[in-house]
Amino acid sequence: MKKYLQRSLSILFITLFVTSCGMQSIPTAANQVEADWAEVQNQYKRRSDLIPNLVAVVKGYATHEQETLTKVIEARASATKVTFTADQLNEENMKKFQQAQAGVSSALSRLMVSVEKYPDLKANENFRDLQSQLEGTENRITVARNRYIEAIKEFNNLITVPPTSFYNGIFLHLAKKPQFQVENLEEAQKAPTVKF
C-alpha cells in the first residue's frame, strides 16, 4: 500500500510539474506576440500616414504623374482596410495583410522611380524630409517584423515542443500562429531599396 501511494504521488507530482511548465510561459509568449504584432501594424500605419504628405508634395511638381499618384493613394486606401488583431491572425488573414502592404510598397516604388525625372522636386526640402522619414519607417517596419517573427517562433515552440506542449494540449488547445511568408522567392532574394 505504501509503495502504491508513493508511486501514485510520484506520478501525480510529475504530471503536475509537466503540465504546469506552460502555465506562465505560454500566456507570456502569447502576450509578446500580441505586442509585437501591434508594433508591426503601428509601423505600417506610420508609413501610411506619410503617404498623403508625400503625394501632396509630388503633385505640386510632377503634374504628369497623376496615374502613379492615384495608384499610391488607392494602395494606401486598400491597405488601411486590412487590419487584424493577433487573435485574428491565421494563414488567410496574414496573406491578405501581406498582399495589401505589398501593394503599397509597389506603388511607392513606382512613385519614387517617376520622381527621378523631376530634379526640382528632389531638391525640395519637404520632399527630402519625407523621403528620410519614409526610409526610416521602412527600417522600423523591418525591425518590427523581425521581432514579430521571433515572438511567433517562441510561441509556436512553446505550444508544440514538450514539456510545455503537454500543458497546451491538456488545457489551452492553442494553434500555431502564422509567420510572414515570402510571396515571390526570386524577388525576396533581392535586397529591397528605397531610392530617392
Q: At 81, is the secondary structure helix, strand, or coil?
A: coil
Q: At what angle do helices 91-115 and 25-61 cross, to 10 degrees?
A: 30
In tens digits, the chain (196 residues) has pLDDT values of: 777 777 776 776 666 565 556 788 999 999 999 999 999 999 999 999 999 999 999 988 887 888 999 999 999 999 999 999 998 989 999 999 999 999 999 999 999 998 888 888 888 999 999 999 999 999 999 999 999 999 999 999 999 998 888 888 888 999 999 998 876 545 544 555 555 4
What burial letters (b/e) apply to 109-139, b meaning 16+ CB within 10 Å? ebbbebbeebeebeebeebeebbebbeebbe
Q: At 136, is the secondary structure helix, strand, or coil?
A: helix
What is the reported pLDDT for 81? Answer: 95
Fold of 2-188: de novo design (two linked rop proteins) (1.20.1440)
What is the reported pLDDT for 145? Answer: 96
pTM: 0.81
